[in-house]
Amino acid sequence: MTHSAPGPAETVLPAALDEAVHRCLVAGFAGTTTVPDPLKRLVDRGLGGVILFTRNVRDADQVRELTGALRELRPDLLIAIDNEGGGIGHLVAAGAPEVPGSWALGAADDPRLTAACADALAGHLLSLGITASYAPVADVQSRPENPIVRTRAFGSDPELVSRHLRAWIAATEARGVASCAKHFPGHGGTVTDSHHDLAVDPRPYDELDLAPFRAAIDAGVPLLMSAHVVFPALDPDRPATLSPRILSDLLRGELGFEGVLVSDALEMKAIADRYGEAAGARLALAAGADQVIVAVPDLDVTLACRDAVLDALRSGELAEERVTRAAERVRRLALRYAAPRRPDAVAGWDAEAGLTAARLAVRSGGPLPRPVPGAHVVDLFPAPHPALNWGGEDLLTAWRAIDPTATGTAVTGEPEDAGIVVEEVLRAAAGRPLVVAVCDAELYPWQRRLREALLTARPDALRVSTGLPEPGSAVCAHGRGRVNLRAAAEALTGRTG
């Protein structure tokens, strides 16, 4: 009787190689108090990291218990979170420090304040048992119509971005928290959000915004995150996350980065719709990534990515040496950052740094208008981005906290009947100063139409921008973090909270 040779799917890999594959994965999951059994099994086999989201956060004590439970399963498990500050954050319910976001820090342009804000965020993370932060954003806001970077960037000048990156990275490192510069080699020159589709940066090589990433590497940043963006000048065929030319030749070879390179989330449509998450995991690791993020809480997606990598190793499609080198980088990173440095003795941080920076940013635009207490405030803004977890804070709430006599209207997303909204606003604002705030109106024609209709009827109305600064604005908040909106309200009322 003869037996056929085992197929690739039946070949058992050495235990060390199986563990190396798992080290190359970062998994999202659901739950706030218990660790799902499939995640436990992944951790048992060597899972490199987990990424937390708002869905995992109820309050500070709960997060500490959750991170403690995860670390009991595996002490060298990296526990990470997106923690950019401003409107981008998942730890509001856990008492996150209020900082204004990168664009406002760049507008204030005081690297010491940037460092103080980064220190506050990192200290808070450390107090919760989280030791890796997927921040700061190293992208340069290069295209006015870019839909995803915008106020997440420190600015549109590469040198300004670079000096604030250096300040952020140094302050985070001083806390013993791993920072991550993203999204290599830059997402600011696109007109597409890679959460929704494949983005392309058509610029020639010498116009790409690589300088901030060079600055981050020189500053010793331990993590870089890749962009799901095609750069025809570098590789016309594949997005950076899947491109050996970009990840291996450019980042490792030319720029000399020796830290851990992590992919942006594989379920983003730029990857998932064209390649699938599982193929994306295999291709990213082959291209030079050290870890791939699967942020969705459905652990079956993570398992499918894991299995695709295992199968590629069995078939020889993916080189063992590529995975073992990646896993070794992750192991070294975990030795430095996985365990908090004395979490019971986290020193305090400057709780006022964020508001100070937000106020400076508001004043950076020039003279402020005369105060308008008792105004009717119209706040027009798009619905929160589902992947970034901006909480939808509105200017009226911040305004009324310091001027209870104010009234207002918050319009989140395009209204069904703009005419009715205009009539209601004009009626409510009769006899009051009128303030009309927009957020990135150049991207949202409905905001421009509403503002124009209101200004036609009330040419005395004050214009405010809460996204990127717009010409003609009396006040620019430089972002929609709570301290951004508070600083704008203070400037317009002449009061402080």
Delimit the domains of the chain by residue range.
9-345, 365-493
- Catalytic residue selected from 264, 290, 379, 440: 264
> If one looks up domain 365-493 in CATH, what number appears?
3.40.50
Positive or negative torsion for Cα 170, 165, 63, 262: negative
Count CB neighbours of 63 within 10 A. 26
Q: Give the span between the Cα atoms of 8 and 285, in whole angstroms.
A: 19
Q: Which helix (H) or strand (E) holds 126?
A: helix 111-128
Q: Give the span between the Cα atoms of 68 and 437, in whole angstroms.
A: 43
Q: Identify whether 235 is a catalytic site residue.
A: no
> If one looks up domain 9-345 in CATH, what number appears?
3.20.20.300
The pTM assigned to this predicted structure is 0.95
pLDDT tens per residue across all 497 residues of the chain: 333 344 444 578 999 999 999 999 999 999 999 999 999 999 999 999 999 999 999 999 999 999 999 999 999 999 999 999 997 889 999 999 999 999 999 999 999 999 999 999 999 999 999 999 999 999 999 999 999 999 999 999 999 999 999 999 999 999 999 999 999 999 999 999 989 999 999 999 999 999 999 999 999 999 999 999 999 999 999 999 999 999 999 999 999 999 999 999 999 999 999 999 999 999 999 999 999 999 999 999 999 999 999 999 999 999 999 999 999 999 999 999 998 876 665 889 999 999 999 999 999 989 999 999 999 999 999 987 777 766 668 999 999 999 999 999 999 999 999 999 999 999 999 999 999 999 999 999 999 999 999 999 999 999 999 999 999 999 999 999 999 999 999 999 999 86
Write the DSSP string, 368-437. PPPP-TT-EEEEEEPPPPTTTT-----HHHHHHHH-TT-EEEEEES--S-HHHHHHHHHHHTTTS-EEEE
Q: Identify whether 460 is a catalytic site residue.
A: no
Q: Give the span between the Cα atoms of 189 and 374, in whole angstroms.
A: 41
Q: In what order do the strands lie in the sheet with 376-381?
A: 407-412, 376-381, 434-438, 462-465, 475-476
Strand partners, 206: none
- Catalytic residue selected from 195, 228, 376, 478: 195
Residue 436 phi/psi, 5° resolution? -120, 115
Burial of 392-420, coded b for 16+ CB within 10 Å and e otherwise, reads: ebbbbbbbbbbbeebebbbbeeeeeeeee
Q: Are 403 and 489 a contacting pair, CB within 8 Å?
A: yes
Residue located via tokens 């500053």: 219
**Residues 6+ away with beta carbon under 8 Å from 237:** 230, 243
Beta strands in 125-204 (DSSP E): 132-133, 180-184, 199-200
